[in-house]
Structure 1
């Protein structure tokens, strides 16, 4: 047990933890900044929305390690390679959910908004996005958890992160180091899931929350 606790007191534990969080946060932010504008741009076209969703599904099928392998020849070892791969991993769930959520807004609601004289941009900002917010945040939450878990692979391209402890435990045949690294990643993933679950509830319009409760009854 003391060997296990000693891992968290290692001088490199905090730097690796910080690197893991930095990689995850920056990759997720870039994923949001790329995926959301694309989803907003194609939401008026069923064909383009379907293409975006299919591209997202294809992206989700690509393994995380394969993304690292594809980025490595272009960028070499380091933080940037890991960031590019994790950003590519972050995009598909956000793109799929955002495109789907925006397209699922009731046509009757859209027609009513048009009848009230709202422009396309106003309908998007005041009607579609708020109604689709729970689905969009669900995609961001899924993406965030995937990125946090997959950031462990950054160690294979010199990106640091907590995966380095897991690999070190294997190399030295020291299960305490390996388990401590894996546990730290698991705790980060759980915290991420809880945090984004709270944000999803917080950004869900009150009317939708009330409607959900009524359906639950």
Structure 2
């Protein structure tokens, strides 16, 4: 089985650019948008089900053509067609879809929250792997990944997962070849893939 980093194709002409997720009910009279309460985007990299009690809103700058897969500050935002596809693929136990309000959009949009973090990075096959050391002044992070270039995963450690984040480098979202091919066959817009 092959695995792929899935990411947002930022070079699509005329595309939208989503901004930081915000709680939609946090704006008070006289408050500027940048003062609204920001949502903690790191929650979506922990690999667990999240209980979200308040609606999350996304704005665009610049506005443009909506993409069915894109990022807002590294958080995957997907159209309901992606949700339907993942349901048909039987991936309900691997992902959580959290509804979001997107500026000027009437159709349903969702945050894609991967529910698995797997210790699977193949250090020897990566281009470069750097770890936090005692000299870096971050004692709680010693031994963790500081940077990973040319990411490669060990397929044997992934087992049967179809969508996950690699332990220690959760800024990356990885999908199986099965998911990649299904998204491409479905014509999902906005997604790019790099084999890892």
TM-score by length of 1: 0.21
Q: Which has the larger radius of gyration?
A: 1
Structure with the higher helix share, 1 or 2: 1
TM-score by length of 2: 0.22
